[in-house]
Chain A
Amino acid sequence: MNPINQAENKPLFDRGPSLGTRMVLLAVLSVCLIYLDYQQGHLQTVRRALSVAVYPIRVLVDIPSATFGWARERLAERDRLVTENRELRLESLRQRARLQQLIALEVENARLRSLMESPARLADRVQVAEILAVDLDPYRHRIALNRGEQAGVYEGQALLDADGIVGQVIRVNPLGAEAILISDPSHATPVELNRNGLRTVALGVGDVMRMELPFLPNSADIRVGDLLTSSGLGDAFPAGYPVARVTRVERRPGEPFAHVEAEPTAALNRTRQVLLVWEGGEQVALP
């Protein structure tokens, strides 16, 4: 190799600051980023700009599982489709029958509300969003969604699936959004007992099949099998959606609080689609 060219490639002396200096500079910069982002939440614009850039990676990673789902639908056997179709039709019939009752109940409810002169409740508007098949942090229960600002998603918006509350949106990007599940260790859901209206808080523990209700006294009227619904307090979730079912009640005489566990009703780790809720977003009021 020509020595002059080699000198071009590998200078004899390093220029610029030394390796250690550069390391310290970048480390200080990282610590500043951590402080600003975690303590202050000042870096929304940086994160937004970069999130648009990384969104294609999330979509790219999601492609195999999306293709798999699509192929399974396309290549499904006729028999299975026919069976599925028949089941869905029966299900729809059952639902419609119940809906007829519901309409009567709604009318009655509206009449009672008007008697008590309380404002009518508005129906909630929902929109379907897909969960992208990407693993975020294994130690946090977070999901990535394929709807963002362009669909009108906002921070703090509640997510549902067919069986109950899934979580809430914590970060909105122009193209997608990130949400926290109710099972995340840093998440608390305000709930009330469907049976008697007892209000408490359900905490996530980092397990999709389990939540804890640590603030119930030993004398609280709660039993295994009780349904917990969202109470609407704290303005995070719309009231009246199922959250979890009580699976274990252990009264400990020596301690101030009972040990109560519940299982989320929503399929937190099995669902692929979730509903975004706009509370009272439907223009028509319930009759």
Chain B
Amino acid sequence: MRNTVEPIDLTMLQDYEGKWVVLSKDYKKVLAFGDSIAELGNTVSKGVMMMVPETEGTFIPTSL
């Protein structure tokens, strides 16, 4: 039996464009955000850290 993981809905991250965020382990809440990981403090160890790229266009890594 193949395991299927829950879908991840990241649509709420549009409000955090260009920021670093920490999501809850179930990916449903933003626990912290900032312009750098230094601003996230120790919440990083409690959740899922990620960067929110700009959302103006579709994503192709045109400029690394």
Determine if chain A interacts with chain B. no
